[in-house]
Amino acid sequence: MFAYVVKRLISGVLVVALVSMAIFLLFWYGPSSPAQTVCDRETSNRCGDRIEIYERTLGYDNPVYEEYGKFVKGVFVGRTITVASNEYECTAPCLGLSFVTKQPVKEALVDRIPATFSVAIGGAFLYLLFGIPIGVAAARRRGTLTDKALVSSFLFISSIPYYLFALLTWLYLTITFEIPFFSNTGYFSPITEGPWAWFSGLFLAWVALGIFGCTQYTRFTRGAMVEALSEDYIRTAKSKGLPTRTIVYKHGLRAALVPVVTIFGIDFGTLLAGTIFTERIFEIQGIGWWSLQAVQNRDLPVVMATALFSAVVLIISNLLVDIVYSVLDPRVRLS
């Protein structure tokens, strides 16, 4: 077990290193010069020869390995960044300064994490809240019209691309019907702006995410439940005369939940790593929204930070899922 975790962590570190190198290389050898976009914006498209100054400030006149070395050093021990004669002491883990706002990326990242995590936690909660009971209900009524109607309508919903589903939800509820509760979507801090603003701002995003995502859980729960209910121990429980409720929820669902929990773990990790479409459509200024902005602005430090953040979150969550799975199901051996 311990050896397995260490092995997975090493390969995770390797992946993160490769991803960061790939991004650096892309920015260095990609477009004309990453400094160009910054320079164009700050001189209102009269960049001309001033590009050299910008390249020097942003470090693009150095070879790529030197800048990458600086970046890595910053992450582990911190470094001092000089921007236009201002020195900025960047402590480890240093992710640099944004090209656009000239603000430290690390603080901005920490500021945006609550928004993305709020979306992810609320959405994931609704996945389970809708998905599991409906799946259990469908499995108990297997073969009936209710079951068929549920399964086929959920198959239909899950075949629609998610962003179109979310877009329609937003357009109809806030634009066409102008429901006041949904009118102001976005992220509001529960502490400074009150929990109600936070709740109503995110509610629509949760519902869209939850209804779309729960279809998958209904399918999985139904499949696992059908299998579990046909096991011998369920027949034993029935013949002992246990009440149906106990049989279904205590004996059936407990066994059926193990694979569902695994998939949930992976999905939750993906949500935490950034919900770009949700944040873009509902105007929630979280990590996904930020990375979209950064890519459009060619803001290397921010792109780097968001990409590394997602990769790290995904790697850790996948590892945790595997460990939890081996705890839940003793037949699974990690090796």
Partner 1 sequence: MSADTAGPETLGSLSNEPAPQDPDSQQAKEISGKSPLRIALGRLARDKVAVVCALVVLFFIVCAVFAGTISNLFGVSLDTPLASARVDGLNNNLPKPEMGPPNGPFTWDHPMGVAPRTGQDNMAYWLYGCRVSLMIATTAAIIASIVGVVVGLLSGFLGGKVDKVLSFFIDMFLTIPFLLAALTLAPILNERFNTADNYATIQKFSLVVVLSVFGWMGTARLIRGEVLSLREREFVQAARVMGMPTSRILFKELLPNLAAPIIISVSLMLPAFVALEAGLAFLGIGVTDGVSWGQMILDAATPVYFRDYPQYLWQPMIGVVALVLSLNLLGDAIRDALDPKTRR
Is the CB of residue 240 less than 8 Å from the CB of residue 123?
A: no
Q: Are the C-beta atoms of 135 and 221 separated by less than 8 Å?
A: yes
Question: For residues 220 and 266, is the Cβ–Cβ distance under 8 A?
Answer: no
285 forms part of the interface with partner 1 (CB under 8 A): no
DSSP 89: E
Closest distance between partner 1 and the C-beta of residue 295, in Å? 5
Q: Output the smallest distance, CB 18 to partner 1, in A.
A: 7
Q: Does 224 bind partner 1 (CB under 8 A)?
A: no
The mark string for 12-41 relative to partner 1 (x by CB under 8 A, - otherwise) is x-xx--xx---x--xx--xxx---------
- Long-range contacts: 75-83, Cβ < 8 Å, 24+? 83/57
Q: Exactly one of 100, 121, 167, 242 binds partner 1 (CB under 8 A); which one?
A: 167
176 binds partner 1 (CB under 8 A): yes
Q: How far is CA 55 from CA 58, 61, 272, 315, in A?
A: 5, 6, 34, 34
Interface mask (CB under 8 A) for partner 1, residues 297-316, using x and -?
-x----x--xx--xx--xx-
d(CA 48, CA 39): 9
Whether the CB-CB separation of 99 and 298 falls below 8 Å is answered with yes
Residue 164 binds to partner 1 (criterion: CB under 8 A): yes
Q: Which amino acid is at 335?
A: S
Q: Does 296 bind partner 1 (CB under 8 A)?
A: yes
Q: Under the rule (CB under 8 A), what is the footprint of partner 1?
A: 11-12, 14-15, 18-19, 23, 26-27, 30-32, 155-156, 159-161, 163-164, 167-168, 171, 175-176, 270, 273-274, 276-277, 280, 288, 291-292, 295-296, 298, 303, 306-307, 310-311, 314-315, 318
